[in-house]
Amino acid sequence: MAVLETISVLDKVLTVKFQNGTSIAYEEFWLRDHCRCSTCYHADTFQRAHHLLQIPDVNISNVKYDKDQLTITWSDNHESVYKAEFLAEFSYDKWRDSRRLKPIMWSGGDVADKVTKIHVDEFLNSVNGAKAVFKSLLDYGVALIENVDVSVEATEAVCNALGGVQHTMFGGMWEFTTTQDHADTAYTNLPLAVHNDNTYFTEAAGLQILHCLEHSSGSGGETLLVDGFYGATRLKNEHHDDFEFLTNFDVEAEYLEDGHHYRYSAPVIKLDKMKDITQIRFNVYDRSAMAFPNDEECRSYYRSLRNLSRYYENPEFQWKFKLKPGLVMVMDNFRVLHGRTGFNGKRVLCGSYVSRSDWLNKARALRLIQ
Ligand SMILES: [Fe+2]
Ligand SMILES: [Zn+2]
């Protein structure tokens, strides 16, 4: 419970000292912009009522406060009331930290004991079940849902609960076997090295959901997962120049098929302003043919991608398991790389993507993140 202790105003800045010792400074213009009266703010839609350009250039005329709230009278006679609880949210470090995701990195199959493995009914019908799944996705980038009916419809119900199907050129819910529906390695029975999907999209899929509906009269086809953040962090510690290169250099990727041509360029390791890793965009197959301004840059491209690749291809860091009918695997495509061993026999998979906006929306609504 935030309690106001003292207030001071100096040079258009109002400083609040709270009882717990925190001090926060608020710019005068910020305070007027954050007025929560019914003329300035629609409490029912949580939206501001005024355009930025309508905020008047006024000054604080008078300040009154008690331990719970602060009242400002402005030079245009408007009055603004701020709750202590509201003001306390804007300590910069605390505010910034509240926006950070805190993934727990993993290497190897031991993570199997940590990720959520849950009965589909519990996931679909209980808040705690849903929380367990999204928490596992936030922490480890993977969750497993069991006892799902072996059908596209039942898988779709899971996808909807994860945030809703993200439509792409591959469709909404897709079902695929070794038949050539698309000119992509995923549609063959060859081994598939670990990768992220959609490196050629401006907005890569947030989650990938896979359900093996059938694998009859054959062997192989084991799923490989690896924590992309873990490999990138190892690269940072062991080959710092390569890490720097991959966080700055735009690697171009593309997808070509009759009537389609996707292309996108971005760093393989995306960092935010806090230098936290926010996305891995690694796919050895989808790299497009690129030109380089000089030999040095070209050599850096190969060296750094190959060094990163060595972590991802290291079997010790991979989690290998077999998808079975009834088990739906969900993974964070911004973080976890997936692949599979080669196989024979008939293998039918279905699944979909969920956009990152949509699954984080669910996690936020469950109050797992801010
Ligand atoms: Fe894939
Ligand atoms: Zn107001």
Whole-angstrom CA distances from 321 to 144, 147, 195 are 12, 17, 16
CB atoms within 10 A of CB 366: 15
Ligand 1 centroid – CA 187 distance (Å): 10
Q: Which of 175, 178, 173, 215 is nearest to 324 (CA)?
A: 215
Q: Which ligand is nearest to the CA of 58?
A: 2
Across 125-146, average pLDDT: 98
DSSP per residue over 273-296, as a string? TT--EEEE---SSSBPP---SSHH
How much of the chain is helix, strand and coil, in % rounded to 5?
A: 30, 30, 35
CA distance 253 to 204: 12
Instruction: Give me the pLDDT at residue 305, please.
Output: 98
For residues 173 and 152, the answer to whether their CB atoms sit within 8 Å is yes
**Strands 142-146, 174-176: parallel, antiparallel or unpaired by DSSP?**
unpaired
Ligand 2 centroid – CA 7 distance (Å): 20
Q: Which ligand is nearest to the CA of 39?
A: 2
CB atoms within 10 A of CB 6: 11
In the DSSP assignment, the letter for residue 165 is P
The DSSP element (H or E) to which 24 belongs, if any, is strand 23-27
CA distance 332 to 163: 13
Q: Which ligand is nearest to the CA of 210?
A: 1
Q: Which residues surround ligand 2, an ion (CB under 5 A)?
A: 35, 37, 40
Instruction: Give me the pLDDT at residue 183, please.
Output: 64
Ligand 1 centroid – CA 363 distance (Å): 24
Ligand 2 centroid – CA 65 distance (Å): 17
For residues 332 and 206, the answer to whether their CB atoms sit within 8 Å is yes
CA distance 9 to 11: 7
Ligand 2 centroid – CA 17 distance (Å): 23
Ligand 1 centroid – CA 197 distance (Å): 5
Q: Which ligand is nearest to the CA of 174?
A: 1
Q: Which ligand is nearest to the CA of 223?
A: 1
Q: Which ligand is nearest to the CA of 286?
A: 1
Ligand 1 centroid – CA 127 distance (Å): 30
Bridge partners of 62, per DSSP, are: 73
Ligand 1 centroid – CA 179 distance (Å): 16
Ligand 2 centroid – CA 48 distance (Å): 10
Ligand 2 centroid – CA 78 distance (Å): 7
Ligand 2 centroid – CA 67 distance (Å): 21
Domain ranges of the chain: 4-96, 109-365
CA distance 309 to 337: 11
Ligand 1 centroid – CA 196 distance (Å): 6
CA distance 340 to 317: 15
Question: Quick check: 182 pLDDT over 70?
Answer: no
Q: What is the pLDDT of residues 73-101, one digit of tens each?
A: 999 999 999 999 999 999 999 999 999 99
Question: Quick check: 180 pLDDT over 70?
Answer: no
Ligand 2 centroid – CA 56 distance (Å): 11
Describe the crossing of helices 356-365 and 127-140 by its angle, rounded to 10 degrees: 130
Ligand 1 centroid – CA 194 distance (Å): 8
Instruction: Give me the pLDDT at residue 286, please.
Output: 97
CA distance 340 to 168: 22
Ligand 1 centroid – CA 356 distance (Å): 16
Q: What is the pLDDT of residues 249-276, one digit of tens each?
A: 999 999 999 999 999 999 999 999 999 9
Ligand 2 centroid – CA 5 distance (Å): 24
Whole-angstrom CA distances from 241 to 237, 248, 252, 282, 290 are 10, 11, 20, 18, 21
CA distance 92 to 104: 24
Across 206-211, average pLDDT: 98
Given pLDDT bands bounded at 50, 70 and 90, which one contains residue 181?
low
Q: What is the mean pLDDT of the chain?
A: 96
Residues of the chain with pLDDT > 90, as a percent, come to 93
Q: Which residues surround ligand 1, an ion (CB under 5 A)?
A: 197
Given pLDDT bands bounded at 50, 70 and 90, which one contains residue 189?
confident
Q: Which CATH superfamily is domain 109-365 in?
A: Clavaminate synthase-like (3.60.130.10)
Given pLDDT bands bounded at 50, 70 and 90, which one contains residue 149?
very high
Strand 4-10's sheet: what is its strand order? 4-10, 13-18, 23-27
Q: Which fold has domain 4-96?
A: NE0471 N-terminal domain-like (3.30.2020)
Q: Which ligand is nearest to the CA of 73?
A: 2
Lowest-pLDDT range of 187-196, 304-313, 359-368 = 187-196
Ligand 2 centroid – CA 14 distance (Å): 17
Q: Which ligand is nearest to the CA of 71?
A: 2
